[in-house]
Structure 1
Amino acid sequence: MSSGRPSSAYFFMLASFIFISISTRGSLAIEYTYVRAAAPSPTSVRDGTINERPTAPSPTRSRRRYGTITERPTITPSPVPDLAPIPIIQFYKYAPAPEPTFSDDEPGWSGYNPSKHKRAKWQLELGIGMAAILILSLGVICSVKRGYLSCHAIPWGRKDAMNDPISAEEMMKNYGSIAPKRYTYSEVKKLTNSFKDKVGQGGFGVVYKGKLPDGDGRIVAVKVLSETKGNGEEFINEVASISRTSHVNIVNLLGFCYERNKRALLYEFVSNGSLDKFIYDEGTSVTNCHLDSRTMFQIAAGVARGLEYLHRGCRTRILHFDIKPHNILLDEDLCPKISDFGLAKLCKTKESIVSMTGLRGTAGFIAPEVFSRNFGGVSHKSDVYSYGMLVLEMVGGRKNFQSGASHTSQIYFPHWIYNKLQQEESLVNTFGDITDVEEDTIKKLLIVSLWCIQTNPSDRPSMAKVIEMLEGTSLLSLQLPPKPFLDSPTRSP
């Protein structure tokens, strides 16, 4: 809880007590001076002659400064009619001085009562003391409240809270009946048969195949997060994000395990694995399994519907920030399901621009504005960019950046395919023996994806518009977008 250093609340309390001590021992010296309106000059003019009137000595007054009272002679009133007095308040330093006394017949102080001055000073000191106590109380309350929030509202913000299983329970209370079931680590180990059947590995952990202990013996995918990476934030993000979703194109979270540094997520088992296996082999850019144009269109449309649901269909907008082939799972019917919400960010539906520190995503799929705010604000359009890059890799059957390409022009696939579309070249030589219908489908996918990777976020369509372009717009109505400014990265030496 404590790091051994005095907290800000400690210094605040110390300063407040010093302030109260000073306010109760010192007195604020206040001098009230009434100055009459200036009288005419003692020199007057009558009948063209100058008449000099005797002038009185310079008037002196009784003044209190630093606790010392100096008596000065009174001023004989001038025959000039009196004007309304003008109050002037002068503040002097604190001084532990005896109470001053003034003569009741002193000009400007008529009716002055020393007891009233004493009572006013006492009220002033009392007010200062009460104000200091109030400020101290507010400071303590804020410190305690801030400490409470750091421990409970954001359980990954502190190491001891991140490893506290109670934090997960308190977080899941907010979801009520829609909260996924919680499993102990021993239960997870049992349903995976001691983690024997490994089906995949991601950036944050290993995925195992398991079977739920319920009556139907449902097959599940168990994602066990690495213990050494401290992925508390990613874990909470994934549970919080997916618990809010219910869509055919979003992977279904069935349960989770949060037992100190043991963390696991239980998903529905998706038999065909991830999309990247259908695009290229692991570690290479060689096409592993060609998807026909109809299947590619269904996958692209399904991912678009899933993203549109995350951006607009949920009560809270969810930005994924890691859309790539590896995070798109395919079931037995090759229906796509968006997975891996470890980098997701929740925001208000009406919030157009989100604040974000650091990079989120995978190289090759990260939008330019995520790298530099000079390209624009980070928003749901960042997911649109990643979606466009994903579709380009799926259609091209290769990584978008391929340093080992046979021709220099083919190193960056978006640049290369844009030039072909711009020159209205046939895609038969590029994609093999395809029919005219298949060629039109591929062209539509390419044009839509090129719109999605526009450098300026405002030039990209929303996911709702992407669905409209795919399903409700003919190929002839689609215009080729401007060439993206970041069309060809510099080749590494």
Structure 2
Amino acid sequence: MPGAILALLILLVFALYLFPDPGVRRVKHKHCGSSFCGNVNITYPFRLKTQHRSCGHDSYELVCKNNRTIFPMKNGNFYVQDISYSDEPIQLLDVRLGNDNCSIPHSSYPSYPPFTEDNSEFSVMYLVNCTMQINYSSVYIGAFRCTNAPSSSQPPYSYFLDESTAKSDFYESCTVEAQVPIMLANITGLSAFDIYTKLLTGFQLSWSTSYYDYVWLRWDSIVNGLRSLLSLLLLPLKIFIRGNVTFFEADHIDGFYKGIQILCVAITGILLLRTFLGIICLIVLVRQKLKRRHLSMDDMIENFLQSQNNLMPIRYSYSEIKRMTDGFKNKLGQGGYGSVFKGKLRSGQPVAIKLFNKSKANGQDFINKVATIGRIHHVNVIALGVARGIEYLHRGCEMQILHFDIKPHNILLDENFTPKVSDFGLAKLYSVDDDIISLTAARGTVGYMAPELFYKNIGGISYKADVYSFGMMLMEIIGRRKNLNASAEHSSQIYFPSWIYDRLDEGDIMELGDLKENESKIMRKMAIAALWCIQMKPTDRPSMSKALKMLESEVELLEMPPKPSFSRNVN
């Protein structure tokens, strides 16, 4: 702690001797006098670029070019027509307008401190560019300054809009290019000629030195306070020198303090160098630690792959993967563990390639996914429909595979529109004898997750969770929409499965769209199967094999399910 205090004091001394008194700069401008560019008087706080910085503030720097005063701002360049130092207004004109070359003003006014607009006649109009011509509109005023301009007959078309224009009056084909200041309260009903006539007179903004004076005053107070503190700390040394050492007469005191300054600078430099080297060493140590952790993760994955030779995984380098996906250009979707891209093997077979994000589980995500996919060695998952694929995951492998993330984004279609179950990042392996399994936390996508994953009193977690997700996905396919419709006109339509049930119960499935008779039967069959799958209690839901039989049966043979009780609890 004492070392830190000493270092702080040394840095304080160094800073106070290194930086000049800020009050000096505020006094120097009195010796700069006034300058003229054309008929514009330029004095503090304004200054020309050729003058010393102490003659004015940086934000008030002007340029004199061809005997005309230019105010360069981040929004564009403006001619200075007049500066009043009594009531502090400045008259500006867009350089484009001042050149008289049919140009359209594209410079927005400076809306940042220390400039303000306090004139009641001041307003801001929008300059918009449109890809299509707008005729017979009282809101859109043509912004072309010259009627013979070649750009007036071809896109983009430019228009002026008053700042009070409602958002509903903005066309989608138009974009705002600039906010142009004008000394008119409103431009509605004016012609382009009237607008340009007023623009050529310029516009006024108010400026103030109080903003900068406040900043310098605060800086003055801080520095003077630190100087007083330093003088107080050095007072005992000064008294000792003057009272006990005759060598340090008045003409030698200044030289002594000069030496103190040099010593402070030297010590400060050593401390800064030490700090810099310490930061470098810290970065190297952190990098080495991360590298060791990464190598440990690689070793764990490597050992897993070596112990699972029966999976026969094929290795690809990152460059090969990048070549397969054409530089990761075609993104199919985004999941919680990474992004999925479309790729193609050398044989021409299209594949989905998942690029993992930085893993938080030391490679366990990767191992989990490889182990799950490695146990799927049946053509059903990639060649048959979604229902058959899920059924196979549950009963067709040597272990029971629960997907836990069945949703439209995870069902891919090949060139023949054959569905394929994908993304096994959340999948878990269980014994086929386990009817109820345990999970430490809910997993899946909200909207497709079974209620027992949240509410333990409903029932145990099992393969019925995938059945529920499949039912919700069927609902989305039936209605071509999300299952929760917050913008529905009627409250009964907010929860879509409930609305579907009412349509089925009334025999009015045709309301889903313009359907033919055979399409109506298919829709009704899918709806009944979906409603069975999304029953509140897991015990009321069918297995995937029974759900598959429903989809393959005649609709007349299907029994109407109970109305999903969960719909009554949806807000």
Cα distance in 2, alignment partners of residues 439 and 190 from structure 1: 45
Q: Larger helix proportion, structure 1 or 2?
A: 2
Over the aligned positions, Cα root-mean-square deviation in angstroms equals 2.4
Task: State the one-letter code of the partner of 1:195.
Answer: F
Question: 1:185 maps to what in 2?
Answer: 318
SS of the equivalent of 2:341 reads strand
Cα distance in 1, alignment partners of residues 565 and 530 from structure 2: 15
Q: Does residue 385 of the first structure (1) align with residue 468 of the second (2)?
A: yes
* Superimposed CA distance per residue, residues 304-326 of structure 1 (whole angstroms, 9 cap, x where no aligned partner): 10011000000011000011111
- Cα–Cα, structure 1 residues 242 and 444, in superposed 2: closer, same or farther, change >3 Å? same
Given that 1:247 and 1:306 are in contact with CA atoms closer than 8 Å, whether structure 2 keeps it comes out as no
Q: How far is 1:337 from its partner?
A: 0.7
Question: 1:317 maps to what in 2?
Answer: 400
Question: 2:488 maps to what in 1?
Answer: 405
* Superimposed CA distance per residue, residues 466-490 of structure 1 (whole angstroms, 9 cap, x where no aligned partner): 112221x322221111112211443
SS of the equivalent of 1:388 reads helix
Question: 2:371 maps to what in 1?
Answer: 240
* Superimposed CA distance per residue, residues 346-386 of structure 1 (whole angstroms, 9 cap, x where no aligned partner): 00011101010111111111111111210110000111111
Task: State the one-letter code of the partner of 2:556.
Answer: L
Question: 1:347 maps to what in 2?
Answer: 430
SS of the equivalent of 1:415 reads helix
Cα distance in 2, alignment partners of residues 211 and 470 from structure 1: 33
Structure with more contact order per residue of length (Cα contacts < 8 Å, sep ≥ 6): 1
SS of the equivalent of 1:183 reads coil
Cα distance in 2, alignment partners of residues 196 and 467 from structure 1: 36
Question: 2:113 maps to what in 1?
Answer: none
Cα distance in 1, alignment partners of residues 362 and 332 from structure 2: 21
TM-score (norm 2): 0.46
Task: State the one-letter code of the partner of 2:563.
Answer: K
How is 1:148-297 mapped onto 2 (pairs within 5 angstroms)?
160=293, 164-212=297-345, 214=346, 216=347, 218-227=349-358, 232-251=363-382
Task: State the one-letter code of the partner of 1:308.
Answer: E
Given that 2:381 and 2:388 are in contact with CA atoms closer than 8 Å, whether structure 1 keeps it comes out as no
Structure 1 gaps, min length 5: 1-158, 253-300
Q: How far is 1:449 from its partner?
A: 0.8
Cα distance in 1, alignment partners of residues 370 and 294 from structure 2: 17
- Cα–Cα, structure 1 residues 169 and 251, in superposed 2: closer, same or farther, change >3 Å? farther
Q: How far is 1:202 from its partner?
A: 2.8
Q: How far is 1:193 from its partner?
A: 4.6
SS of the equivalent of 1:366 reads coil
Given that 2:471 and 2:531 are in contact with CA atoms closer than 8 Å, whether structure 1 keeps it comes out as yes
Cα distance in 1, alignment partners of residues 360 and 299 from structure 2: 21
> Structure 1 segments of 4 or more deviating over 6 A?
none
Given that 2:536 and 2:565 are in contact with CA atoms closer than 8 Å, whether structure 1 keeps it comes out as yes
Q: Does residue 306 of the first structure (1) align with residue 384 of the second (2)?
A: no
Q: Does residue 475 of the first structure (1) align with residue 552 of the second (2)?
A: no
TM-score (norm 1): 0.53
Question: 1:447 maps to what in 2?
Answer: 528
Q: How far is 1:192 from its partner?
A: 3.9
* Superimposed CA distance per residue, residues 402-427 of structure 1 (whole angstroms, 9 cap, x where no aligned partner): 1011222111110111112123x322
Structure 2 gaps, min length 5: 1-291
Q: How far is 1:438 from its partner?
A: 1.3
Cα distance in 2, alignment partners of residues 332 and 450 from structure 1: 30
Counting aligned pairs with the same residue, the percent is 50
Cα distance in 2, alignment partners of residues 396 and 193 from structure 1: 35
- Cα–Cα, structure 1 residues 181 and 454, in superposed 2: closer, same or farther, change >3 Å? same
* Superimposed CA distance per residue, residues 28-80 of structure 1 (whole angstroms, 9 cap, x where no aligned partner): xxxxxxxxxxxxxxxxxxxxxxxxxxxxxxxxxxxxxxxxxxxxxxxxxxxxx
Q: Does residue 490 of the first structure (1) align with residue 564 of the second (2)?
A: no
SS of the equivalent of 1:465 reads helix
* Superimposed CA distance per residue, residues 290-312 of structure 1 (whole angstroms, 9 cap, x where no aligned partner): xxxxxxxxxxx811100110000
Task: State the one-letter code of the partner of 2:369.
Answer: E
Task: State the one-letter code of the partner of 1:165.
Answer: D
Q: How far is 1:196 from its partner?
A: 4.3
